[in-house]
Amino acid sequence: MESGQLFIILATAIASATPLVFACIGETITERAGVINLSAEGTIMLCAMVGFVAAKTADNVWLGFVAAALVGALIALVVAYGAITLKQSQIAIGFVLALLCSDLSAYLGNPYVRIPGPTVPPRFAIPLLQDMPFIGPLLFREGDILVYAGYALIGATWFYFYRTRGGLTLRAIGEQPAAAFARGHNVIALRYAYTLIGGALMGIAGAAFSLDFKAGWSYRHTAGYGWIALAIVIFGGWNPLRAALGAYLFGVLQSLAGVAQSTVPNVPTQVFTVAPFVLMILALVLTSGDWLDRLLSYLPVNVRRSLARIIHTAPPAALGRPFEQD
Amino acid sequence: MHRRKARISRRTPANSSTVKVELRHIHKRFGNVHANDDVSLTVEAGTIHGLLGENGAGKSTLVKILSGFISRDSGEIVLDGRPAHIQSPADALRYGIGMLHQDPLDFPPLTAIENFMAGSPTTPALLNVRAAERNFRALCRQFNFDLDPHARVSDLTVGERQQLEIVRLLANGAGTLILDEPTTGISATQKTLLFDALRRLAQEGKSIIFVSHKLEDVEALCDCVTVMRRGRVVGELNLRANGAGRAHGDWPAGERFDVAARIVEMMFGRELAMPVKPAIHQDETALVLEGLLLRSDRLEMHIGHLAVRRGEVIGIAGLEGSGQQLFLLTCAGLEHPAAGSIYVSGRNLTRQPYSAFVKAGVCYLPADRLREGLISGLSIQEHVALRMPSRGIFINRAAAAQEAERAIATFNIRGRPDTAVEQLSGGNQQRTQLALMPSPLNVLLMEHPTRGLDIESTLWVWQQLIARCNQGTAILFASSDLDEIVQYSDRVIVFSGGRISPPIAAAALTADSLGQMIGGRF
Ligand SMILES: Nc1ncnc2c1ncn2[C@@H]1O[C@H](COP(=O)(O)OP(=O)(O)OP(=O)(O)O)[C@@H](O)[C@H]1O
Ligand SMILES: [Mg+2]
């Protein structure tokens, strides 16, 4: 295989990870605020269905995305109400919603199975960026509008987290809500807001599947992606950059599995469908182990600090715990 | 709802020059604990008002109500004669009320500078770390605080976290400042600088509420004190009116009086006696350190030889974070030394696991009671059960309950066996920790054994510790309270600038001379 071809395969693989990027960033935002939205699997699936149906009915892809984002936010609202206001177990609520929404998507989406629908406009290259050596052809030639929006989302989220007052507050309420409250922040309202934003992004992830990267709708169309998104967020150390990298890695693993499947035909196809998930977990475990920290301790202090921030993997201290105020 | 919001924004006196603060008939109950029972307090603009009282008297509850952190059951807050609608910290901040919480209320995984910026009204929407850092360093210099802006707060000592909060609060320029025990973690010189700053702020017309257990501090700083006991105000004293006492009590006007004794009597209803440390009468050593080299990220320290006899008390002085904790952890077997050996009762325990140290009768009580010493969420009884020798997999509830009742009675803990430890007041948490110590002990290592305790509890704790000494336990304790070190130690070692002084006989020391040595002059 010549390098040009390999590049195209890689570029396509990276592009196809875009829905996962949206989902991972959404979940990262929510969890940083201290709320676990465990319904990702169901949210993505139901929103894929809703997005497809809305786009088909209105004959407008963008309306599909809007509808999916709204439904995603709505599911997140249920999570937020149960977790923040009723102070119930976030795990239980999320899990039940994950199952419920998956089944709902199968039931409601039944009339729309395997019919053609609108899709996102075709791919285009970005004028100047595509000429950058190596990175240009890899990232800026094979994408469509959604792929590039994904890049922007990653950068914007990172910037928001670490360079703005709002992002600092977001991290604060996930770490020590009582202290954030004492500094005058409305912890409850902010947690609601970030849970809804995260849910909307997961909704967009769903629509990105059904309207773009896995166009159409079928029974359990996006099965497995929600769970892998949750895993990537954890192993990504709640850092948007690392989470996005994880998502892209998964995309590459999946397309490699595709290539492998066509070269070794007598292995059952299920092996290649499942392999990326298994490999991904392995890769994530390897890249977030203790040994990285141990390696770091040999570096000079200032280098260590900046690196430590990137590989720091402690969950937000108040993750999953409701904020009690007396 | 709307009307209230509107009113708040119309009179937004944040940073306004003078604010008189009045709390009227405040009530607050936690379950069946009446933490504030009809409490009224007036702080004149431009004064520093001391708030005193035993552990659990309700001081923190009262000031948290003023800062909006907890809601009151009834009562009124009046600022400059007008009722203020304070239901949340955000409201209080709008009225210019800023508070330093007793337990540092910060974000441990974030860096010091991020903590400084979080929730500060002057932080721009796009963070400007450099500018914040400049501001931060300037303030640190002003108070002689040595804080690394890029250190994670979780790596700081309790005292350093308190310093960080002081800096943050003063940077925010509140018009009413509440300081809930701010001096427990800072050195004598830092305290002088902080007090100077507070006096300056008071002169500018700000009102300051100062909660403390240290009578010297209160006498030095406050214009007026209010004493609370069991949720009620039991007395008020004007310390600046040339002896014209305005206490509820009766005392001859114009006569000279001993303020400290007077306050103690108001707080506890009686006079208190100091326990006395008897001379050591054993020559047997409990702990020997030989050529010990301690190493951490920031520090490297060396101890040539230290032999601690049974019944001896070694005080460890030094600025917070000069390695005292590492030293104690190493002695406790929780950290291993880079070189050298440790002997407990003659046995070489170097590089042995912690369990070997425990078996040899070594016990370590950390400073951060709730994070390391006790387990939040568990009750006193469950703590007792955890400590009891286990036979089989079941907890013997009846025995644990009995044991807990006994501990509560002998250690005078204000709580019930099923009270969760985090609901106890600081003093009672410390009593619980002491009650949980195993009984024959060879070496007891402690950080800030009486931090946050009221005078009576402090004296009581030392009484218990001295009793331990008499049974042959050697005690090594770190404290930022120099009076405490001079009072109770046989010998003192000073940690300063990465060096450890040879042991000095405490008889040759005063708090002042010790303070100078901490500055690095030994
Ligand atoms: N969140 C809470 N839940 C239940 N009880 C509480 C709570 N906070 C405080 N209390 C109780 O209210 C009483 C007053 O506590 P508070 O913290 O105000 O005392 P304090 O005067 O500040 O004592 P200290 O000197 O130990 O800080 C105590 O009996 C305490 O156990
Ligand atoms: Mg208190």
pLDDT in tens, A296-312: 677 776 676 666 666 65
Nearby residues of B157 by Cβ (< 8 Å), 6 or more positions away: B185, B320, B321, B325, B367
The residues that bridge with B443 in the sheet, in sequence order, are B362, B474
> Is B323 found in the same domain as B280?
yes
> Is B465 found in the same domain as B407?
no
For range A16-38, the mean pLDDT: 95
Return the percent helix, strand and coil in chain A, to nearest 5.
75, 0, 25
The residues that bridge with B99 in the sheet, in sequence order, are B178
B422 token code pair = 């985090």
Nearby residues of B47 by Cβ (< 8 Å), 6 or more positions away: B202, B207, B208, B223, B224
**Residue A316 included in any domain:** no
- Tens of pLDDT along A77-122? 999 999 999 999 999 999 999 999 999 999 999 999 999 989 888 8
**Residue B369 included in any domain:** no
The whole-number pLDDT of residue A237 equals 84
> Is B512 found in the same domain as B384?
no
Number of domains, chain B: 3
Among B217, B242, B268, the domain-final residue is B268
Helix axes B380-387, B397-410, angle to 10 degrees: 110
User: Best mutation site among B23, B29, B33 for ligand 1, i.e. most ligand atoms within 8 A of its Cβ?
Assistant: B33
- Whether the CB of B159 sits within 6 Å of ligand 1: no
CATH number reported for the structural domain that contains residue A84 in this entry: 1.10.3470
Say yes or no: B130 contacts chain A, CB-CB below 8 A.
no
Cβ-contact A25, A201 below 8 angstroms: yes
| Distance, CA of B404 to CA of B256 (rounded, Å) | 47
pLDDT at B254 over 50: no
Cβ-contact B177, B209 below 8 angstroms: yes
- Supply the range of the domain harboring residue B137: 2-268
B358 token code pair = 């425990």
Among B384, B405, B437, the domain-final residue is B437
**Residue B326 included in any domain:** yes
The whole-number pLDDT of residue A186 equals 93
**Residue B500 included in any domain:** yes
Whether residues B117 and A186 touch (CB distance < 8 A) is answered with: no
Strand order in the sheet with B74-79: B33-43, B21-30, B74-79, B82-83
> Is B477 found in the same domain as B426?
no
> Is B203 found in the same domain as B88?
yes
| Distance, CA of B441 to CA of B362 (rounded, Å) | 6
> Is B316 found in the same domain as B430?
no
> Is B215 found in the same domain as B322?
no
Residue B99's SS3 state is strand
Q: What is the pTM of this model?
A: 0.83
**Residue B228 included in any domain:** yes
How many Cβ atoms from other residues are within 10 Å of residue A152's Cβ?
A: 9
> Is B307 found in the same domain as B202?
no
- Whether the CB of B33 sits within 6 Å of ligand 1: yes
- Whether the CB of B36 sits within 6 Å of ligand 1: no
DSSP states of B211-240? E-S-HHHHHHH-SEEEEEETTEEEEEEESS
Whether residues A183 and B118 touch (CB distance < 8 A) is answered with: yes
Nearby residues of B281 by Cβ (< 8 Å), 6 or more positions away: B311
Q: Angle at Cα B107 formed by Cα B77 and Cα B87, nearest 5°? A: 20
The whole-number pLDDT of residue A310 equals 62
> Is B463 found in the same domain as B346?
yes
Cβ-contact A190, A184 below 8 angstroms: no
Of A37, A13, A34, the C-alpha closest to A26 is A37
Least confident of A133-147, B47-61, B123-137: A133-147
> Is B411 found in the same domain as B468?
no
- Whether the CB of B492 sits within 6 Å of ligand 1: no
How many Cβ atoms from other residues are within 10 Å of residue B270's Cβ?
A: 9
Of B262, B260, B258, the C-alpha closest to B247 is B262
CATH number reported for the structural domain that contains residue B473 in this entry: 3.40.50.300
**Residue A326 included in any domain:** no
pLDDT at B107 over 90: yes
Give the HSE-up count for residue B207: Cα atoms under 13 Å, Cβ half-sphere.
21
The residues that bridge with B42 in the sheet, in sequence order, are B22
**Residue B368 included in any domain:** no
Shortest Cα–Cα distance, B90 to chain A (Å): 4
- What's at A288, amino acid-wise? S
Label the pairing between strands B82-83 and B285-295. unpaired
A297 token code pair = 């301790």
Dihedral sign, CA of B152, B64, B103, B206? positive
pLDDT at B249 over 60: no
Cα dihedral value A242, B119, B424, B212, nearest 10: 140
Of A139, A120, A117, A118, the C-alpha closest to A128 is A139
DSSP state of B280: P
Number of domains, chain A: 1
ipTM over 0.90: no
**Residue B11 included in any domain:** yes
How many Cβ atoms from other residues are within 10 Å of residue A65's Cβ?
A: 24
For range A224-235, the mean pLDDT: 90
Q: A-contacting residues of B 294-353, CB under 8 Å?
A: 297
Query: In this complex, which of B89, B114, B125 lies closest to A183 when CB atoms are compared?
Result: B89
**Residue A259 included in any domain:** yes
- Tens of pLDDT along B376-399? 778 888 887 777 665 566 667 778
**Residue B33 included in any domain:** yes
- Tens of pLDDT along B315-350? 999 887 788 889 999 999 888 898 999 999 888 998
**Residue B463 included in any domain:** yes
- Supply the range of the domain harboring residue A37: 3-311
